[in-house]
Each structure stands twice: as structure tokens, then as C-alpha cells.
Amino acid sequence: MDTHADDLAALTEKLDLKNAIHVGQSTGGGEVARYIGRRGSKRVATAVLISYVPPLMGSRPDDGATG
């Protein structure tokens, strides 16, 4: 999720988007949520999360995630 959020941030900055509307469905909604969590909402006017998968904020020993 961090990589996707960082890619979205890079694109947003490259295009110099301001007051952007971010819409994400399923994993895309998790990406939007993670982007805002990592980068803040300075360039975001609205975020729409549709049936989204929230980004994993930490790992547990039983979830198979590493790091």
C-alpha cells in the first residue's frame, strides 16, 4: 500500500493537482486512504471510498505479513 500511495503522491505532485477529488473502490479506496494518511489532505478536496479495503496499518504474527 505504501508504494501505491507514494506513486499517487508522485503523480499528484508532477501534475501539480490541487483540490483533487480522489475516488477509490476496493483496494483503490485503501490506496486513497493510505495516501491521505501518509501525505495529508493538502491537495485533496474530497475523498470517496466505495466498499474499500482499509490499508493494513501494522502486521500481526498470524496475518502472514512481514515488516
- Dump pLDDT digits (tens) for 7-53: 999 999 999 999 999 999 988 898 999 999 999 999 999 999 998 88
11 lies in a domain? yes
- Count structural domains, the chain: 1
pLDDT of residue 66 exceeding 80, the answer is no
- The more confidently predicted of residues 64 and 42 is 42
Beta bridge partners of 21: 46
Helices 2-14, 27-39: axis angle to 10 degrees equals 70
pTM: 0.74
Q: What is the pLDDT of residue 15?
A: 97
Phi, psi angles (nearest 5°) of residue 15: -85, -5
User: The domain containing residue 17 runs over which residues?
Assistant: 2-50
In a domain, 29, yes or no: yes
- Asked if residue 61 belongs to a domain, the reply is no
